[in-house]
Structure 1
Amino acid sequence: MLDPEELYEVDSDVPNLEGAVLLHHFDGFLDAGAAGRTLTDHLLEEHEHRVIARFDVDRLIDYRSRRPTMTFLTDHWEEYEAPELVVRLQHDTAGIPFLLLTGPEPDREWERFTAAVGALVERWGVRLTVGMHGIPMDVPHTRPLGVTAHGTRPELVQGHQPFLSRMQIPGSIAALLEFRLGESGHDAMGFAAHVPNYLVQATYPGAALTLLETVGEATGLSLSGDALREAGRRADLEIGKQVAESDEVAEVVRALERRYDTFLDASKRESLLAESEGELPTADEIGGEFERFLAEQERTDPRD
């Protein structure tokens, strides 16, 4: 493998980051309700930031599969929105530094890219790397959203209910990054907010807020969430209006509420995914759902 450090450039004036947290989200894979993207946009809006490392997207991105946007004005090309895969330095409300890695998911050289991120983790003394996104789930928007947690050590996800014992789903750079960091002895974890199935194609701020609160608890970072709370409140009001206008949709939501409440009341239940263990979806079924969701995302991708 070629030298991973040739994939990126780092600013010369990066401060001491020993013990910092690295958050990451990549566009292009599963992100129901745009949960991860909405959270990263929120962090960039609420917390000052500057780019301290930039990856070579020409080596990593297939432009023909995800064409960047260009603006045409009358008789000439006015603007080109070049894709960026960067690490930004930010500070939480208490002034604690943290890092945010965002951009399109690499199409190629996954092993080299994960090795490059690992080199930055070691270079800066990052103590914990955390990924975040949304997944579709059979839950109502009128109840608290759950989160699936996973990590390189069991201690990292204590207090979080396990998802399923074993399943196979399409891979992602975020998953591979967590896996490779764990192999190298670094702490890494990820959170997937549970997004109601009927909202997966919409931008759902409530899912992003769930991620923000969960990430804050796991990392100790103090992250501003007021704007997301207000956006979530407005979104829930609008969703409530739309549900009320359709008897069929309202019945679906009521059924999900009954199911959710039944599981919540049954202390011996181990999953909100089905009424009994015998009714749990198989790994193949869940993998198929992920694949179908990704196929729908590709067909509706506005960048094409």
Structure 2
Amino acid sequence: MTAPTPRLVHIVDDVPELSGTDSLTMVVALDGFLDAGSAGAVACRHLVAAGASGGGVVVATFDVDELHDYRARRPAMSFVRDHYEQYDAPRLVVRLLKDAGGTPYLLLHGPEPDTRWEAFCRAVKEVVDRFGVTLVVGMGAVPMAVPHTRPIAITHHANNPDLLTGASPWRGELRIPSSAQALLELRLGEWAIDAQGFVAHVPHYLAQLDYPRASIALLEHVELAGRLTIDLSDLIALAEDRDEEVARYLAANTEVGEVVAALEQQYDAFERAEESGSSLLAEDRPLPTGEEIGRQFERFLAGLDPEEEEGRE
């Protein structure tokens, strides 16, 4: 006799907080791939911390054992003198949260599935159908050759053209590595479910650090798209601390400052070209490579507070 196929998602039957709700947004941010500067992860931690009832109510739980490659991404645990304890089991869940004005919304967060992406998308659709989600909004971040001294650029994408608020700066077709989150947006569109997302452009020399400035930019766009109100004051304080830390390092390391200055020149030239409509290409200046900037910032990364970075990991 064939064993029954395990369910990928377990959904709470009774959620009275959503009774009578005719418009519901679900925010999605999956860890593991599209999250330079941990922008999405930091944003999720902020939303959970700001939620009521100790981080909101978990209304759906995915079977991580069916989706996670433990050998590729080994969860942390503690060894205390002579025994193991405090195993940090990966969790992929949907939480019911409320914004600053009391409006309910859902948050799907946790590690990106390593396997069974199509089954995962179908499981998310079960959640969408069960709670009557009317809009899915994704968050992500990619490393880019941009300076941290300029505004965070955002790429907006959607499976419904009516959701887009402006023209895309990208031209033509880009072949990129896929992700479970990107596939989810594609499949939701095929199922006539509106989904859109925002990808923050993070300076690639800061991509391995928590970069709250990008998290703020993402959540500001989520607010507008999902018609939510999110208190960002704690995140703004974190971003200011990070900015001061980077500024102190640049002041003490002129060679690194020169690299950032070159990126600023390239960025500004690109902006001038865009505004004039003459060309998407910046002036003929050599753009510092990721390897060059990475070498320049090795000391910066090594000099961070090890307890802070250990906690982030």
Q: TM-score range by the shorter chain?
A: 0.7 to 0.9
Give the SS at the match of 2:196.
strand
Q: Please name the residue that 1:205 is paired with.
A: 212
Paired with 2:86 and 2:129, the residues of 1 have a C-alpha distance of: 37
1:51 and 1:162 mapped to 2: Cα distance? Answer: 38
Residue equivalent to 1:8: 9
Tell me which moved more, 89-98 or 13-22. Answer: 13-22
Counterpart selection for 2:276 from 242, 264, 268: 268
Residue deviations 1:147-172, cap 9 Å, x none?
A: 01100112212225333421111110
Q: Does residue 191 of structure 2 align to residue 184 of structure 1?
A: yes
Q: In 2, distance between residues paired with 1:77 and 1:275?
A: 55
Tell me the C-alpha RMSD between the 2 structures. Answer: 2.8
Q: C-alpha displacement at 1:5, in angstroms?
A: 9.0
The partner residue of 2:169 within 157, 162, 169 is 162
**TM-score, with length taken from structure 1:** 0.85
**Structure 1 residue 208 displacement after superposition:** 0.5
Instruction: Tell me which of 213, 225, 246 is aligned to 2:253.
Output: 246
Match of 1:259 in 2: 266
Partner Cα distance (2:5, 2:135) in 1:
20
CA contact (8 A) 2:61 2:92 kept: yes
CA 1:258/1:116 → structure 2, altered by over 3 Å: closer, same or farther?
A: same
Range that drifts further, 148-157 or 159-168:
159-168
Corresponding letter in the other structure for 2:43: L
Equivalent pairs, count: 283
Amino acid of the structure 2 residue aligned with 1:23: V
Shift of 1:73: 1.6
**Are 1:23 and 2:27 counterparts?**
yes
Q: Secondary structure at the match of 2:59?
A: strand
Cα offsets for 1:58-114 (capped at 9, x unmatched): 111111111112222222222222111100000001100000001111111111110
Between 1:164-173 and 1:86-95, the stretch displaced more is: 164-173
1:38 maps to 42
Rate the CA distance shift 1:27–1:142 in 2: closer, same or farther, 3 A. Answer: same
The 1:189–1:270 alpha-carbon spacing in structure 2 relative to 1, beyond 3 Å, is farther
Per-residue Cα deviation, 1:217-239 (whole angstroms, up to 9, x for no partner)? 11111011001111111111111
Letter matched to residue 114 of structure 1: C
| 1:297 alignment counterpart | none
After superposition, the Cα gap between the structure-2 partners of 1:116 and 1:4, relative to the gap in structure 1 and judged at 3 Å, is: farther
Aligned equivalents of 1:135, 1:242: Cα separation in 2: 23
Instruction: Report if the CA contact (8 A) 2:137-2:225 is conserved.
Output: no
Partner of 1:286: none
TM-score (norm 2): 0.83
* Deviating more after overlay: 257-266 vs 207-216: 257-266
Give the residue type in structure 1 aligned to 2:48.
Answer: L
Contact 2:60 2:127 in 1 (8 A): no
1:50 aligns with 2:57: yes
CA apart distance, 1:270: 8.6
Q: 1:73 to 1:153 in 2, by over 3 A?
A: same
Unaligned runs of 5+ in 2: 288-309
Please say if residues 11 and 127 of structure 2, whose CA atoms lie closer than 8 Å, have aligned partners that are also in contact. no
Which moved further from structure 2: 257-266 or 134-143?
A: 257-266
Secondary structure of the structure 2 residue equivalent to 1:199: coil
Judge conservation of contact 1:7–1:56 (CA < 8 Å) in 2. yes
The CA deviation at 1:271 is 8.2
Shift of 1:246: 1.7
Bigger Rg, which one: 2
TM-superposed CA distance for 1:8, in Å, is: 1.2
Could you say which residue in structure 2 is the equivalent of 1:143? 150
- Residue type matched to 1:170 in 2? P
CA contact (8 A) 2:154 2:200 kept: yes
Change (3 A) 1:160 1:232: farther
1:91 is aligned, of 77, 82, 98, to: 98
State whether residues 85 and 102 of structure 1, in contact with CA within 8 Å, keep that contact through their aligned partners in structure 2. yes
Measure the CA separation in 1 of the matches of 2:149 and 2:101. 32
Q: Decide which of 126, 135, 138 is 1:128's aligned counterpart.
A: 135
